[in-house]
Amino acid sequence: MSERKLVIPGEIIVSEKEFLPGEWTEKRNDEIVAVRFGVAEEQDRLVRVIPISGTYQPRKGNVVIGQAVNILSSGWFIDIDTPENAFLPVSEFPRYINRGEFADVLDIGEMVVAKIINIDKRGIDLTIRAHGLGKVEDGLIIKINSNKVPRIIGKEGSMINLIKEETGCNITVGQNGVIWISGKDTEAELFAKKAIMYITENFFMEGLTEEMKRWFEEEKGK
């Protein structure tokens, strides 16, 4: 097995003995079988599947983008595309807020960039006390499958930097698949959106960053 391939659950990835089952695979007899829909790859004889579908699995430390869905007396409920809503306590706001002014600071329907600080049985806790976090002021919000986020960012951010450079937009990618694009005008933002959508459709391609360079040249030639 040399190159990446798309697999579905139950599909045999390799049937030679010398391979070992990795993430999202299992060994049946001498065969390594995929248990998730995704891209199978092999490294040092270890075979693993990178899932490309399914819901977002929240993890501590993830930066996510969510939408305020409810205001309580102690903070906001934020929808970050997880089964349960996440909570942003007012104490995690960088400044003091008077009671009754919550809606002025972050109203229902508005978006916020936040970081997950804790996950337990009660739910997910968020904070916006760090650099780069806070309310989404202006721009465009798009949603992609969270499993494709690593491809949007690329190796050490190579892909996202390429898009930022080519479109001149500021892009914040939430680990939950929500992306905030903010550029000088709507055209630039829509161009960035188009680029991101092209990546999500060709996520399995090898040398995707090179392909995107070609894509940008082609699009700019138009």
- Enter the tokens of residue 69: 């869905």
Sheet holding 20-21, edge to edge: 5-7, 38-43, 46-51, 20-21
One of 71, 190, 200, 205 touching other proteins (CB under 8 A): 190
Cβ partners under 8 Å of residue 209, min gap 6:
154, 155, 158, 159, 162
x/- map, 194-213, other proteins, by CB under 8 A:
--------------------
Kindly state the number of chain residues that form the binding site for other proteins, as judged by CB under 8 A.
16
Contact 79, 67 (CB under 8 A): yes
Q: What is the residue whose two structure tokens read 């694009």?
A: 181
Instruction: Give CA–CA dist 169/183, Å, rounded.
Output: 4
Please report how close the Cβ of residue 31 comes to other proteins at its closest, in angstroms: 30
Please report how close the Cβ of residue 23 comes to other proteins at its closest, in angstroms: 26
Q: Is 178 in the site for other proteins (CB under 8 A)?
A: yes
Q: Is 109 in the site for other proteins (CB under 8 A)?
A: yes
Q: Is 124 in the site for other proteins (CB under 8 A)?
A: no
Q: Is 79 in the site for other proteins (CB under 8 A)?
A: yes
Stretch of 3-11, 23-31, 133-141, 155-163 contacting other proteins, by CB under 8 A: 133-141
Q: Which burial class, exposed, middle or buried, applies to 170 when counting CB atoms under 10 A from its CB (0-12, 13-18, 19+)?
A: middle
List residues binding other proteins (CB under 8 A).
Answer: 67, 79, 81, 107, 109-111, 136, 138-141, 143, 178, 186, 190
